[in-house]
Amino acid sequence: MTDIKSMTGEELEAALREMGLPRYRADQLFHWMHVSLARDYEEMRNLPAAMKEMLRRTCEYRTVRMEDRQISAADGTQKFLFALPDGNLVESVFMRYHFGNSVCISSQVGCRMGCRFCASTLNGWERNLTPSEMLEQVYEIRRVTGEKVSHVVVMGTGEPLDNYDALVRFIRLISDPKGMALSQRNITVSTCGIVPCIRELAREKLQITLALSLHAATDRQRREIMPVAGQYSIAETMEAMRFYYETTGRQVTFEYTLIRGVNDASADVEGLAGLALPVRAHVNLIPVNPVRERGYAQTEAGAVQAFKNKLEKSGVNVTIRREMGRDIDGACGQLRRRHILS
Ligand code: SAH
């Protein structure tokens, strides 16, 4: 069955034309799905019953169902566990910032990238999410909280560039002026660094922010914590990031998870500065979120600050990511994992 919420406005129009329906019906349907956030065809009051019947028979209307919700007492961060139509579970997070509300979504069920410090990859990869399932994480959070969402980060479970076509379609749909109309400048995609896909993404003419999970400044160190580093060298990855920056004009971000005794020495600061400066990347330092199965420890707060100061002195634009929702299974994949194991 056709996954109707993953279709663009033009595709919808063509599909309805086939059914003998006029263009304005496609506009109404698109509006119901992406602006009114209807939960099903029933709700679409101004559509004729015969049209809804035809849609029910031919087009699947994907939604997600909330299975669990945790609200942080510390900072109001909310973590959601959603069931997909086939019963698979994914996590999404709602966060309040001074610049607006941000939702972090998952792009796959599980992940096959195998980063050593990450909980999302412990059970491997199950399947890709459809564009509609990525949209629905944002839509359902809007329905449930009643809050506006101005920013979306694709930083939940999964490697977005390993689900490339669905990701690009998701970005076009959520930023569609006739839909939720989220500014592409407020969308961040985080990747572990699949080089050919970074280059392809650069050519899509999107205005999104690309964040690279760098986490180490030498190939040897990076290969120890990220299997993808065995496939693409840091040099190749930097070339792709430069291409992205030069083609789109968008500043890129490097994420650097600080792990005690692994990547937090003085030599690492120099290496990181040497990589960030030539492509004028913004560096986001993240104290590693300890995952029980992984055994990595956080760099102490003082040492994190010192690492940041040294980077700044070298001229790098750097921030420390504020930790949110530590009291609610904040780290990637932890809520889902607890449910799968219980
Ligand atoms: N696959 C993508 C996006 C999902 S992970 C990527 O690799 O970028 C989102 C970010 O969280 C990545 O930077 C990832 O390296 C980081 N991350 C994963 N587990 C973490 C942990 N335990 N502590 C801190 N950051 C973590």
Pocket-testing residue among 104, 106, 118, ligand 1, by greatest number of atoms within 8 A of Cβ: 118
Cα–Cα dist 115/192, whole Å? 9
Cα–Cα dist 36/209, whole Å? 27
Give how far Cα 201 sits from Cα of 66, 124, 193, 208, Å: 32, 25, 12, 10
**Beta strands in the chain, from DSSP E residues, in sequence order:** 2-3, 59-60, 65-71, 78-83, 89-97, 100-104, 108-110, 125-128, 151-154, 187-191, 209-213, 253-258, 282-287, 317-320
Q: What is the pLDDT along the chain (342 residues), one digit of tens a residue?
A: 899 999 999 999 999 999 999 999 999 999 999 999 999 999 999 999 999 999 999 999 999 999 999 999 988 899 999 999 999 999 999 999 999 999 999 999 999 999 999 989 889 999 999 999 999 999 999 999 999 999 999 999 999 999 999 999 999 999 999 999 999 999 999 999 999 999 999 999 999 999 999 999 999 999 999 999 999 999 999 999 999 999 999 999 999 999 999 999 999 999 999 999 999 999 999 999 888 778 899 999 999 999 999 999 999 999 998 877 777 765 656 677 777 766
Cα–Cα dist 278/314, whole Å? 12
Ligand 1 geometric centre to CA of 190 (Å): 8
Give how far Cα 33 sits from Cα of 42, 174, 238, Å: 12, 11, 39
CB-neighbour burial class of residue 139 (10 A; exposed 0-12, middle 13-18, buried 19+): buried
Instruction: Tell me the pTM.
Output: 0.96
Closest-CA residue, ligand 1 atom 13, reads: 213
| 332 classed as catalytic | yes
8-state DSSP, 298? B
The answer to whether residues 190 and 255 touch, using CB atoms and an 8 Å cutoff, is yes
Q: Determine the atom of ligand 1 nearest the C-alpha atom of 212.
A: 8
Q: State if residue 213 touches ligand 1 by the CB under 6 angstroms criterion.
A: yes
Pocket-testing residue among 115, 152, 161, ligand 1, by greatest number of atoms within 8 A of Cβ: 115
| 91 classed as catalytic | yes
